[in-house]
Amino acid sequence: MAHLLYLDTLASKKIQRHPATIEDLPAKLLAKIFHVVHSESVAELSRPPTDDPYDKKWFLRPEFVLPRFPDTLIRVSAHWHDIISSIPEFRTNIVFAIDIVKPIPIFEIQSSLDQSFDLPLDILITRCPGSARPTSDEETAVLSPLVALFAPHFHRCRSLSFYGIHSSALPQLGRDLSGTLPSLVTLRLECEIDDGDASPTFAWQSISCPKLDTLTLDGHNFVNMTNMNRSWPLQFPELKSLSIVHLKPSSNEGEMVNGERISLYGFLDVLVDGSLRLEYLRLRDVELTNPYSEEFFVDLSLKKALVLEDLSRSFVYELLFSLKLRSAELHVSRCSLNAMGRLPPTLALRLEEIGEFDNVAGHLKDWQGTSLTFVRCMGFGDDFLDMLAAVGSYSGAAHLSRLTIMDCPNFTVDSLKRMIGSRNKKVEEGDVWPGPPALEELVVTGKGPAVDTADAEWLRSRLKYLHWRVAEVDGDAND
């Protein structure tokens, strides 16, 4: 009894104690937590701003979008402020949101630069979601002082990202960025509108980035660099990932490379330069032609992926016709499948926002890859699932083993079950997985049809892996 009384007394004392808070944690433990937050913030800087596929009004509030570390944390308490201020590394993330109405004061960024000492910098200059859309002159007026402020520190940048509206407002290679940048691993100069000059009006200064791994350029920066230094791949010996956005030479003036308008052949010739060892290539809103109407073929090997976004039918056709592509993955966003003819042989295929008038089933019937992803595709529906369900000696997309469906509401659970029942007929016949054409993994997320408990159990019994979390068309969540 005495023992029980002791426990009751101890419990009573515990109840009377004030609850512990994060303020009570030792400074060393808090510092470790802040280091984790800092690492996640650095990773966030490597991701370009994208439109969220769901309706989230709070997403437009900048404080929820921009990784403002450590500014948000140092305001929590004097204790946190002292810990964070004692670690210079936490001042190496510099984020600036372009807002012509309420710009961040320059002195705040200068303060971060001063407190970061000589440590590697991760700099992100991006547009502020929900803010007024600037004109080219307004954006240039905001960006130019920033570029001048950062210029003395470019040599210690680890990542440098500019996400603007107008190409004319972006920093220019060979002018704003020049010399040797020994620490730079990631450089992104990306815009929404191509309004830059057709040719540079400045004296080109060489640029070398011995550690550069990831490069994203607007079209004019890419063409100017190629025009002024045809051997630029030699200056980026570690380059693995290249993205070109908004390259549309005028039919009258055009972009000039070595005295000639850049053509599809000239463009591909640069990409397959023997000095480049690309693993990832992304082309967004690029329009190039072959002025000589001559057939040519270029070998392009990519270990990771070829990404095609917002390309015209004619360019997609000429590009894929001219390429002998060897790539692990092909990503196609807002392009016409009807212009592609036979899809290149890849292990994985990702289709995003493909229209309902594209014959998805017809184009993928002979596809021999193993992993297929659909994202917001109105062209994905029961007719495609019926093609996959073909029985007999021949099945559509015969080697498909993983299917991912994201935000595609135009299919039914019944058609999906028929397809899996057909392809996975032998699953219940033995302990050994039958292999193709049996589907192994199914992932369904975003907007889509609901699945009841019975259907979910039926699917689980025939698949190695099932993940189903959707927001139904009427807005209800379904697991």
Same domain, 209 and 113: no
Same domain, 429 and 455: yes
Q: Quick check: is 70 in a domain?
A: yes
Of 38-52, 58-72, 91-105, the range with the lowest mean pLDDT is 58-72
Same domain, 213 and 241: yes
Q: Tokens 């960025």 belong to which residue? A: 177
Tens of pLDDT along 400-453?
A: 999 999 999 999 999 999 999 988 887 766 656 777 788 999 999 999 999 999
* pLDDT over 60 at 190, yes or no: yes
Q: Quick check: is 146 in a domain?
A: no
Q: Which residue has the higher pLDDT, 29 or 8?
A: 29
Residue-level pLDDT at 86:
83
Same domain, 265 and 216: yes
User: Position 273: which residue type?
Assistant: D
Confidence label for 45 from pLDDT (cuts 50, 70 and 90): low
Residue-level pLDDT at 352:
96
Q: Quick check: is 154 in a domain?
A: no
* pLDDT over 90 at 40, yes or no: no
Task: Please enumerate in sequence order all residues whose Cβ is within 8 A of that of 266, keeping only pairs 6 or more positions apart, or say none.
Answer: 257, 260
Q: Quick check: is 55 in a domain?
A: yes
Which two tokens mark 261? 């308008």
Rounded-to-integer distance, Cα 163 and Cα 149, Å: 17
Same domain, 397 and 339: no
Tens of pLDDT along 283-336?
A: 999 988 775 566 778 888 899 999 999 999 988 988 888 888 888 999 999 999
Q: Quick check: is 369 in a domain?
A: yes
Rounded-to-integer distance, Cα 242 and Cα 221, Å: 13
Max avg pLDDT among 219-223, 394-398, 444-448: 444-448
Same domain, 188 and 268: yes
Single residue among 94, 109, 126 that ends a domain in this structure: 126
Confidence label for 394 from pLDDT (cuts 50, 70 and 90): low
Residue 468: domain span: 348-479
Contact between 167 and 219 under an 8 Å Cβ cutoff? The reply is yes
Q: Quick check: is 152 in a domain?
A: no
- Residue 281's beta-bridge partner residues? 242, 306
Number of structural domains in the chain? 3
Q: Judge if pTM exceeds 0.85.
A: no
Q: How many CB atoms lie within 10 A of CB 190?
A: 22
Same domain, 276 and 338: yes
Residue-level pLDDT at 309:
96
Rounded-to-integer distance, Cα 233 and Cα 272, Å: 10
Task: Decide: residue 478, CB within 10 A, 0-12 exposed, 13-18 middle, 19+ buried.
Answer: middle
Rounded-to-integer distance, Cα 330 and Cα 319, Å: 13
Which two tokens mark 239? 């380059």
Same domain, 380 and 464: yes
Residue-level pLDDT at 19:
65
* pLDDT over 90 at 180, yes or no: yes
Q: Quick check: is 476 in a domain?
A: yes
Same domain, 312 and 395: no
- Residue 96's beta-bridge partner residues? 125
Same domain, 386 and 337: no
Q: Mean pLDDT, the chain, as a whole number?
A: 81
Single residue among 328, 346, 364 that ends a domain in this structure: 346
Same domain, 359 and 380: yes
Same domain, 321 and 191: yes
Residue-level pLDDT at 51:
39
Rounded-to-integer distance, Cα 248 and Cα 250, Å: 6
Q: Quick check: is 102 in a domain?
A: yes
Q: Which residue has the higher pLDDT, 53 or 245?
A: 245
Residue-level pLDDT at 251:
47
Residue-level pLDDT at 11:
42
Single residue among 303, 323, 346 that ends a domain in this structure: 346
Tens of pLDDT along 90-145?
A: 778 887 777 777 777 778 788 878 888 888 998 888 877 667 788 888 888 888 98
